Structure 1
């Protein structure tokens, strides 16, 4: 592996871990379940996807590359859907958005 690839893998790993750290901080610091879910699903998906891509480039093998890309696609397809369904279930269970939420579009919908 050339030094260029090693540096690129290192940069992608660091950026992915920064996004994962941001997701973790968001889970700890944000006010309600909806904001926390947004931080966890968006930044967590991006961070784990970047780290899987770095793994695929570092391994340099076709089977590892295909599995890593399948993992990234799986994350991108399932995380937003899961976050949406969890948010809808939390709202129907009675968890109200915090006072910083200015528009509540689900308030008028029938349950």
Structure 2
């Protein structure tokens, strides 16, 4: 028997996964950047690019295959997680003293 997960579960799981992955990587990069004297605006631009690259496979699936509902749900989850990570990670980095 084949069971399909509801869209909300897939979307939430991908949102949390991308939030943790990009959020932790952004805080670590801010720490490394602070030690090496990198400008924080450059680190932010790198992670905007990383978020776009992270969402690119699902975006291409949505563009190339218009009837791909699963790709749309995955894209929505990844975009939400990346947006929250790019918003919250600088706050955490600032609280830790890296920015």
With normalisation by structure 1, the TM-score equals 0.42
More helix by share: 2
Bigger RCO of structures 1 and 2 (CA < 8 A, at least 6 apart): 2
